[in-house]
């Protein structure tokens, strides 16, 4: 019983040696991290009073929840926290999953917000109250991944290394600038958080997905010690964690619904479909070490080493049918009120001149792809805290060095296959259905019907580093209204070198390029393989499911040049890197200073506390890179043109100074009730990717328009680039929150917020005059459609309300007293008139919300916490949200033929939305004894389907773009502490 009493007291105790000095005690952190830490305090424990003996003793996840509540209640700004339980475990298996349970936080189930075509089971980025500008911190200091952004990739970090995760929704002047939405601080375990002596903890688990059918494992171990020596207190922590995950995701995707005139009436017909699957495997390793030395009670020195390493491989198979000249027989088809196709027994290729069905087969292709990525982030920091006993001051100083690397090596090999002149399509149900004429499957099993088409390598190799130094001085004023004055400054320099050789698509033997077409049957048998789409969407989608593809062993073990040696053609560029044309360099220098005053007063049971301050930041951005065009072929006026490989250097940058005030007030009429108000201005420096000086020039062609094997017909030139002079995004933030803490384990809060955002970075469509260089040495002047990054001249707004609460029904008898419920809901509305897109008729529009923002966000959980059981059944749901206005695949140019056969070229750039999506997860922990507990977990229990939608259609209609399904995952593990 003494053990549980110590945990309860640890949660209730407040200690000035907090991990970040924001209210939760080191003792509470110890009790929630490792039970053995509490044992070291038994000698000092007092016998429990009668009241304590009758109190409800909490352990495990409930103890961690109450520790998080204490942190929120005692914080000097608006904060939500998730704290590790008494086995040192956070409640989910990735930091991203942990964050999705926090009120106001949503996650993106894709590899990135602007890439709606690649699903991610674990999620990638997060949004806080609708904004993707979320700063990442490690123990209060800046940290990043070398991916062209400013933040850490949270999915790369193993949660076993974390003591807690704090989500800051309002800022203070002493916090590092960054994060228009807020900031996320990953707090690690520190040696002096533990009691004297040695402490150990470990965990291991096995998991499996029902689609991937692969067994994965994870393991972690921690050893910590604190000792009183002749030279003062010494302590250390060493923590290592390894985990691996295998997932399979399957998808079906529709092309744009092109406006098509059939028999004098306009209809909207999708330009084909794609289906496929990805087999994804990742390994994640984390190493954490910390040492602390207190030579005197006034001085503490801390050194920290943190490393997160993430590697992944992905094999992909995809089959697609694409054409911008597809039509149907209206008399046999079903349409919606706007003329959008719902179903037809025959979608066929039509002759644009006559509008009648063509005997030509529909263009059909496919791809096998393999890619592997490696990310590694290392952070080394040293700090000191000095609080002399004879002076009312505290001095803190730190130095930090961070290094991050990220690389991707990808190879995609394309093939073509003869396809029938029509196929059936049914979009009336929850999932699309595709049918083909009799005999099609037999034809798809003949290698002679397949031909090698193209190869496309892609490589990234990024490396970044940052050095920073920070100093803070706090003066304890006294017992009056003003409590303390805090001043400080920070210097940092961050550089990044990114290598990117683009997506260098090059045709193999195609006839028109001087190399004969080579069928699979004419090539080497081992170079292709039969792929069966097993259990596709668990049998709920009909499609031609078995085809031949380039073999994975072949594409993984063949050089890029090897494909051309075997199957004709020549690379559009030299394989690998061409330096310096593929290199972009970035530098950001920050210099910041701040002053902040903390104040407070009491009136009986009431109190008013708060802080007010200002932070002044100077930023210098610079970028150097190349604007280049790669070898691309197209047909124009019957002639084939080839762009030359050229590059010209660009070097630019800008300097900005910004003033960031911050005020936080907390009024407590009674001890259990708090009213918070906050106003602050936050800023986001533009990402390195948006600041890039480099860019490319390309060609947009009419898909499927190439005749007799010739390249597709020219539509227009395109460019993409960044802008090294982009202004920082500024957000004026207003927050009002009411929090109620009636008893331990029960909380309720209501919050309103409003953000007004200026200089938001958007990708706006425009036209630019360019010079085009051809491979034969000639050139021409032309106009290019561009999607350059720029700061919007329109102001965006975000407003919303957040509700959340938790309670346990302790008043119920017996085992029922362990039942609890937890829920939060966030409503967010936004306007972003500076973000533009072009609808299906080529009309420019600006009626989209902010990217990543769902109007409705809900988390609900059933809890059971009564020794020896801990149960959580959690449901997370978000409504529709904008993913991109510049997504690949919905920015096409097509030709609309009217009833007279007159063609008009139309350029589109349709917005893509993520449809509403919810997942149900469950976890059960059984405490075997004080040293061992066993866990069972299940994820994606309801087999959720993530759907994406295409906008820009008449009447605001949203048509289905993609459907994704991934594994249900089951996990079994154990945790030990001693």
DSSP state letters, 295-309: EETTEEEEEEEEEEE
Residue 673: is it exposed, middle or buried by C-beta count within 10 angstroms (0-12/13-18/19+)?
middle
CA distances from 605 to 475, 478, 931 (A): 27, 21, 42
The answer to whether residue 378 scores a pLDDT higher than 90 is yes
How high is the pLDDT of residue 57?
Answer: 56
How high is the pLDDT of residue 786?
Answer: 74
Q: What is the arithmetic mean of pLDDT over 750-768? A: 85
How high is the pLDDT of residue 806?
Answer: 95
Q: Name the residue with tokens 């490690």.
A: 138
The answer to whether residue 21 scores a pLDDT higher than 80 is no
How high is the pLDDT of residue 663?
Answer: 98
Quick one: which of 583, 653, 591 has its CA closest to 618? 591
Selected residue with higher pLDDT from 944 and 852: 944
Quick one: which of 590, 824, 832 has its CA closest to 731? 832
Extended strands (E) in 724-778: 729-743, 746-758, 761-763, 766-773
What distance in Å separates the CA atoms of residue 106 and residue 97, rounded to the nearest whole number? Answer: 10
Quick one: which of 698, 725, 573 has its CA closest to 641? 698
Predicted confidence band at 181 (pLDDT cuts at 50, 70, 90)? confident
How high is the pLDDT of residue 972?
Answer: 96
Q: What is the arithmetic mean of pLDDT over 331-337? A: 95
The answer to whether residue 198 scores a pLDDT higher than 50 is yes
pLDDT digits (tens, 9 = 90+) for 901-917: 888 889 898 999 999 99
How high is the pLDDT of residue 11?
Answer: 33
Q: In DSSP terms, which residues pair with 240 in a beta bridge?
A: 221, 287
- The region of weakest confidence among 480-494, 635-649, 701-715 is 701-715
Q: What is the dihedral of CA 217, 187, 78, 823, to 10 degrees?
A: 20
How high is the pLDDT of residue 576?
Answer: 73
Selected residue with higher pLDDT from 748 and 701: 748
Quick one: which of 56, 71, 65 has its CA closest to 19? 71
How high is the pLDDT of residue 704?
Answer: 63
The answer to whether residue 703 scores a pLDDT higher than 70 is no
Tokens of residue 747, six digits: 């909380």
Tokens of residue 263, six digits: 């028999």
Report whether 685 contacts 658 (CB < 8 A): no
pLDDT digits (tens, 9 = 90+) for 280-327: 999 999 999 999 999 999 999 999 999 999 999 999 999 999 888 899
How high is the pLDDT of residue 32?
Answer: 34
The answer to whether residue 17 scores a pLDDT higher than 50 is no
- The region of weakest confidence among 196-205, 241-250, 307-316, 884-893 is 884-893
User: Which stretch of DSSP H or E encloses residue 97?
Assistant: helix 95-100
CA distances from 221 to 202, 218, 224, 239, 314 (A): 4, 11, 10, 6, 29
Q: Name the residue with tokens 């991944």.
A: 145
Selected residue with higher pLDDT from 738 and 632: 738
Question: What pTM does this model have?
Answer: 0.87
Extended strands (E) in 255-327: 257-262, 265-270, 272-296, 299-322, 326-327
Vertex 83 angle, CA 78 and 89, to 5°: 160
The answer to whether residue 415 scores a pLDDT higher than 80 is yes
Predicted confidence band at 386 (pLDDT cuts at 50, 70, 90)? very high
How high is the pLDDT of residue 147?
Answer: 81
Q: Name the residue with tokens 């007004």.
A: 756
Q: What is the arithmetic mean of pLDDT over 231-258? A: 95
pLDDT digits (tens, 9 = 90+) for 427-459: 999 999 999 988 888 889 999 999 999 999 999
pLDDT digits (tens, 9 = 90+) for 26-76: 333 333 333 333 333 333 333 344 333 344 556 678 888 899 899 999 999
Quick one: which of 382, 317, 325 has its CA closest to 355? 325
Q: How many CA atoms lie within 13 A of 252 on its CB side?
A: 21
Quick one: which of 178, 31, 22, 293 has its CA closest to 977? 31
DSSP 340: B
Q: What is the arithmetic mean of pLDDT over 183-194? A: 91
How high is the pLDDT of residue 30?
Answer: 31
Whole-number average pLDDT of the chain:
88
The answer to whether residue 550 scores a pLDDT higher than 90 is yes
What distance in Å separates the CA atoms of residue 709 and residue 513, rounded to the nearest whole number? Answer: 9
The answer to whether residue 585 scores a pLDDT higher than 90 is yes
How high is the pLDDT of residue 47?
Answer: 37
What percent of the chain clears pLDDT 70, i.e. is strictly above it? 92
Selected residue with higher pLDDT from 116 and 356: 116
Q: Given CA atoms 688, 689, 690, 694 in this order, what sign does their dihedral have?
A: positive
pLDDT digits (tens, 9 = 90+) for 802-821: 999 999 999 999 999 999 99
Length, in residues, of the chain: 978
How high is the pLDDT of residue 2?
Answer: 37
pLDDT digits (tens, 9 = 90+) for 471-521: 999 999 988 999 999 999 999 999 999 999 888 889 999 998 889 999 999
Vertex 548 angle, CA 544 and 550, to 5°: 140
Predicted confidence band at 105 (pLDDT cuts at 50, 70, 90)? confident
Residue 389: is it exposed, middle or buried by C-beta count within 10 angstroms (0-12/13-18/19+)?
exposed
Task: Please compute Rg for the chain using Cα positions.
Answer: 30
Quick one: which of 863, 560, 512 has its CA closest to 708? 512
CA distances from 870 to 590, 924, 931, 933 (A): 46, 6, 16, 10
How high is the pLDDT of residue 86?
Answer: 67
Q: Name the residue with tokens 């390493």.
A: 309
What percent of the chain clears pLDDT 90, i.e. is strictly above it? 62
Quick one: which of 524, 463, 469 has its CA closest to 493? 469
């Amino acid at each position: 019983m003494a053990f549980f009493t110590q945990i309860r007291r640890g949660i209730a105790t407040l200690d000035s040696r907090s991990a970040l000095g924001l209210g939760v005690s080191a003792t509470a952190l110890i009790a929630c991290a490792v039970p053995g830490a509490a044992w070291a305090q038994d000698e000092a424990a007092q016998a429990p009073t009668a009241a304590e003996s009758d109190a409800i003793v909490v352990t495990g996840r409930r103890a961690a929840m109450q520790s998080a509540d204490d942190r929120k209640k005692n914080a000097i700004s608006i904060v939500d926290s998730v704290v590790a339980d008494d086995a040192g475990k956070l409640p989910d298996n990735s930091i991203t999953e942990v964050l999705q349970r926090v009120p106001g936080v949503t996650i993106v189930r894709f590899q990135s917000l602007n890439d709606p075509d690649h699903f991610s089971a674990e999620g990638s980025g997060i949004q806080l109250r609708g904004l993707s500008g979320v700063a990442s911190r490690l123990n209060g200091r800046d940290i990043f991944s070398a991916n062209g952004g400013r933040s850490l990739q949270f999915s790369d970090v193993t949660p076993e290394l974390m003591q807690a995760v704090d989500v800051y929704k309002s800022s203070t002047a002493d916090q590092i600038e960054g994060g228009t939405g807020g900031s996320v601080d990953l707090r690690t375990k520190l040696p002096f958080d533990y009691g004297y002596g040695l402490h150990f903890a470990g965990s291991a688990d096995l998991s499996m997905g029902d689609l991937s059918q692969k067994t994965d494992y994870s393991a972690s171990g921690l050893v910590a010690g604190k000792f009183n020596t002749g030279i003062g207190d010494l302590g250390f922590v060493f923590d290592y964690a390894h985990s691996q995950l295998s997932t399979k995701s399957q998808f079906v995707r529709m092309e744009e619904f092109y406006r098509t005139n059939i028999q004098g009436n306009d209809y909207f017909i999708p330009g084909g479909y794609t289906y496929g699957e990805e087999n994804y495997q990742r390994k994640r390793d984390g190493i954490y070490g910390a040492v602390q030395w207190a030579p005197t009670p006034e001085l503490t020195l801390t050194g920290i080493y943190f490393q997160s390493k993430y590697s992944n491989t992905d094999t992909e198979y995809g089959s697609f049918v694409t054409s911008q000249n597809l039509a149907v027989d209206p008399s046999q088809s079903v349409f919606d009120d706007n003329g959008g196709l719902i179903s037809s027994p025959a979608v066929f290729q039509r002759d644009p001149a006559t509008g009648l069905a063509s005997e030509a087969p529909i263009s059909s292709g496919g791809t096998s792809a393999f890619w592997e990525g490696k990310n590694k982030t290392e952070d080394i920091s040293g700090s000191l805290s000095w609080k002399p006993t004879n002076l009312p001051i505290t001095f803190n100083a730190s130095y930090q060095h961070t290094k991050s690397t990220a690389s991707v090596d990808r190879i995609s090999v394309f093939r073509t296959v003869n396809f029938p002149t029509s196929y059936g399509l049914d979009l009336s149900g929850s999932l699309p259905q595709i049918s083909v004429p009799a005999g099609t499957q037999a034809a798809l099993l003949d290698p002679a019907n397949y031909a090698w088409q193209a190869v496309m390598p892609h490589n990234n190799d990024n490396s970044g580093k940052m050095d920073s130094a920070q100093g803070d001085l706090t003066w304890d004023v006294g017992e009056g209204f003003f409590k303390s004055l805090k001043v400080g400054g920070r210097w940092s320099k961050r550089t990044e070198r990114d290598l990117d050789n683009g997506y260098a698509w090059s045709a193999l033997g195609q006839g028109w390029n001087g190399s004969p077409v080579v069928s699979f049957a004419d090539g080497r048998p081992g170079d292709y393989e039969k792929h069966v789409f097993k259990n596709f969407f668990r049998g709920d989608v009909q499609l031609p499911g078995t085809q031949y593809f380039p073999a994975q062993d072949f594409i993984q073990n063949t050089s890029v040049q090897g494909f051309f040696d075997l199957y004709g053609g020549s690379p559009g560029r030299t394989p690998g890197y061409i330096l310096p044309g593929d290199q972009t360099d970035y530098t950001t220098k920050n210099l910041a200073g701040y002053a902040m005053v903390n104040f407070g007063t009491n009136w009986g049971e009431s109190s008013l506390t708060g802080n007010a301050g200002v932070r002044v930041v100077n930023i210098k951005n610079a970028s150097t890179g190349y604007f280049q065009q790669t070898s691309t072929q197209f047909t124009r006026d019957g002639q084939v043109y080839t762009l030359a490989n050229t590059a010209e250097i660009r070097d630019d940058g800008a300097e900005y100074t910004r003033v960031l005030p911050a005020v936080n007030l907390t009024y407590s009429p009674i001890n259990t009730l708090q009213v918070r108000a906050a106003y602050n201005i936050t800023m986001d420096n533009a990402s390195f990717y948006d600041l890039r000086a480099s860019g490319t020039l390309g060609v947009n062609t009419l898909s499927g328009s190439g005749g007799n094997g010739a390249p597709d017909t020219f539509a227009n030139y395109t460019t993409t680039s960044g802008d090294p002079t982009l202004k920082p995004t500024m957000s004026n933030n207003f927050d009002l929150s009411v929090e109620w803490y009636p008893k331990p384990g029960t909380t309720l809060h209501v919050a309103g917020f409003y953000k007004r955002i200026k200089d938001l970075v958007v990708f706006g469509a425009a036209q630019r005059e360019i010079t085009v260089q051809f491979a034969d040495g000639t050139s021409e002047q032309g106009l290019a459609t561009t999607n350059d990054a720029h700061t919007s001249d329109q102001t965006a707004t975000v407003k919303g309300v957040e509700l959340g609460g938790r309670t346990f029904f302790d008043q119920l008898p017996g085992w029922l007293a362990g039942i609890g419920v937890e829920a939060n809901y966030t409503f967010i509305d936004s306007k972003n008139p500076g973000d533009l897109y072009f609808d299906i008729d080529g009309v420019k529009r600006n009626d989209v919300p902010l990217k990543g923002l769902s109007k409705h966000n809900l988390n609900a959980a059933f809890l059971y916490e009564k020794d020896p059981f801990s149960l959580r059944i959690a449901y997370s749901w978000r409504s529709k949200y904008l993913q991109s206005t510049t997504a690949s695949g919905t920015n096409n140019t097509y030709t609309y033929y009217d009833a007279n056969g007159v063609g008009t070229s139309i350029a589109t750039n349709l917005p893509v939305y993520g449809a509403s999506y919810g997942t149900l997860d469950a976890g059960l922990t059984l405490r075997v004894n004080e040293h061992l507990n066993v866990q069972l977990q299940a994820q994606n229990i309801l087999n959720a389907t993530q759907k994406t939608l295409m906008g820009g259609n008449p009447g605001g209609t949203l048509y289905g773009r993609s459907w994704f399904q991934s594994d249900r995952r089951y996990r079994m593990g154990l945790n030990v502490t001693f």
